[in-house]
Amino acid sequence: MARYQVILAYDGTGFYGFQRQKKDAQSRTVQGVVEAALQRLGWQGPTLLFAGRTDTGVHATGQVIAFDLDWLHPLEALQAALNANLPPDVSVRAVGLAQPDFHPRYDALARRYRYRIFCEPVRNPLRERYAWRVWPSVEPERLWQATSWLPGEHDFAAFGTPPRAGGKTIRRVYRASWQEDLDGLTFEILANAFLYHMVRRLVHLLVVIGQGEQEPEAVCKCLEGTSPDLVKGLAPPQGLSLDEVIYRPELLA
């Protein structure tokens, strides 16, 4: 019996989030289809471990899961076997061995999320599957100015709720930036941890600022707790992707 670490990619469009639903076992979740694939390979565990609970419609290219399994073949064979039993909207990108006590959520040092937007006045069904169509257009310079307040340790209570009631809302952002290209604008943020809905609330406020409805200093006021009411919306899920979870190398065998 060994503990395996797996990096998953998935299109979240057809899933009711990542985590299996206790109250609605019939809802299609990423956890549910991965556990079903594992069971076909002889896995008998009660539940797999995972790094992040992505919402309905949110995508991933770097979700991390872990499980214990008796597997007598090479890692490449396990990857191929899992992918053969997974639906087309989920893929195992990498398989590795981990320490017996490795936990993808509690051992994570940082997570990196990406959010994509594009500015067009008329809906674009293909692009809108993986990005938020924004109109009126945003001014990139206003986005960059507002985003400059994010790096560092702050109280993000205005932007989300902790995983457990009464939990801390202070998070450290290592990097936050926007990149502009022919496909639109991409927001990338790397932090030690995230609150529930934190990235989507951040992006919504940043877009409002980019459209000129709020000043860039609104981000600072929210982080200081002086004007939390400025956070009034939630960016749609399809623009968001969990791209990377970072660990200490010694946790992986």
Annotation marks residue 155 as catalytic: no
Of 185, 192, 193, 190, the residue nearest 235 (C-alpha): 185
The CA-atom distances, in angstroms, between 149 and each of 155, 197, 198 are 12, 19, 15
User: Residue 72: exposed, middle, or buried by beta-carbon count in 10 A (0-12, 13-18, 19+)?
Assistant: exposed
d(CA 93, CA 253): 18
Q: What's the pLDDT score for residue 14? A: 97
**pLDDT tens track for 128-148:** 999 999 999 999 999 999 999
Total domains, the chain = 2
- The residue annotated as part of the active site, out of 24, 55, 68, 181, is 55
Same domain, yes or no, for 90 and 164?
Answer: no
Same domain, yes or no, for 116 and 230?
Answer: yes
Q: What's the pLDDT score for residue 3? A: 97
Same domain, yes or no, for 132 and 233?
Answer: yes
CATH code of residue 221: 3.30.70.660
Structure-token pair, residue 51: 């790094």
The dihedral sign for the CA sequence 52, 161, 231, 17:
positive
Q: Answer yes or no: is 249 within a domain.
A: no
Q: What's the pLDDT score for residue 253? A: 65
Q: Which domain does 93 fall in, by range?
A: 2-107
Q: What's the pLDDT score for residue 228? A: 77
Same domain, yes or no, for 149 and 226?
Answer: yes
Q: Are 118 and 134 in contact (CB under 8 A)?
A: yes
d(CA 199, CA 211): 18
Same domain, yes or no, for 52 and 144?
Answer: no
Same domain, yes or no, for 19 and 94?
Answer: yes
Q: What's the pLDDT score for residue 170? A: 97
Same domain, yes or no, for 47 and 168?
Answer: no
Low-confidence ranges of the chain (pLDDT < 50): none
Question: pTM value?
Answer: 0.95
Total residues found in the chain within this entry: 253
The dihedral sign for the CA sequence 88, 243, 198, 193:
positive
